[in-house]
Amino acid sequence: MNATAEHQEHGMSDASYIKIAIILAAITGLEVSTYYVDFGPLFMPALLTMMIVKFVMVVSYFMHLKFDSKIFSFLFYTGLGLALFVYCTALATFKFFVS
């Protein structure tokens, strides 16, 4: 068997990874700019939205969940949901959410 015949393309080209990295850097720049620009009540929702977009991009492209079997995505997001539930439950135990 030929070694090159067995090689399967997994993921994207190098140029695509560079584009994703540039997008992530731009979003990070926007996040940093929120410190210097007064967004008022939109401060926290803007940061959370940018954080979620970056998380999904990193998980999808750099961790290759977009290109793997859907069962891996299901397991990853189920574990993430469980971790968030446990974290919020622990914070609620210490009355973190009460003002």
CB atoms within 10 A of CB 31: 14
Counted domains in the chain: 2
CA dihedral 81, 83, 84, 85 (to 10 degrees): 90
CA triplet 51, 56, 58: central angle to 5 degrees? Answer: 95
Residue at 24 is within a domain: yes
pLDDT of residue 87: 87
| Nearest by Cα to 15 from 51, 67, 54, 61 | 61
Supply the pLDDT for residue 65.
84
Residues 27 and 42 in one domain: yes
pLDDT score for 10: 64
Block residue for tokens 């961790």: 63
Same domain, 63 and 74: no
Query: Which structural domain range is residue 73 located in?
Result: 69-99
- Over its length of 99 residues, how does the chain's per-residue pLDDT go in tens digits? 455 545 555 668 889 899 999 999 999 999 999 989 888 888 888 998 998 899 989 988 888 888 888 898 899 889 889 988 998 888 888 876 666
CB distance 42 to 54 below 8 Å: no
